[in-house]
Amino acid sequence: MKEHFLYPGTLYADKDPTAVTTILGSCVAVCFWDVVLKVGGMNHYLLPLWNGEGLPSPKFGNIAITKLLEKMFSMGCTKKNLQAKIFGGAALMASSSGLLNVGERNILTAEDVLADEGIRIIASDVGGNQGRKMIFQSDTGGVLMKKVKKSV
């Protein structure tokens, strides 16, 4: 099986079975899996919404999810066969609240975009105050996840 490390602000999808690994703090990763074709993909975004300035980069949630969907469709996936899983969005600083809580806003962006697209979220592990290390198996849609304690 291929292995791929997913850096912040990037996405990955491939027809070949791949173990996609990433580490999340306030960032969010959305995983898509097509139940018929048995292929999957994952993104890792840092900020919730692109404001229209500069390039529409996948470091923004609304762009990252749309770009990953486009990649999935280019591999023959259909929206009705897609399942989604969401991870991350931790509040790593004690004073993070409201507009300053990027993690919370990242989670809401994923939920809103997926609802607008009509894609069902079948699993999630979001929020809290710990980071996460995760491995997404693109051929099964399975996710292995471990909470990461903050180091002092």
Whole-number Å distance between alpha carbons of 103 and 124: 14
Strand pairing partners for 144?
Answer: 135
Q: Which residues in the chain belong to E strands, given as ranges?
A: 2-5, 10-14, 18-24, 28-34, 39-44, 82-88, 120-126, 131-137, 143-148
Selecting among 13, 24, 27, 84, the annotated active-site residue is 27
Residue 27 annotated in active site = yes
How many CB atoms lie under 10 A from the CB of residue 128?
14
Provide the token pair at 142: 């399975």
Q: Which residues are catalytic?
A: 27
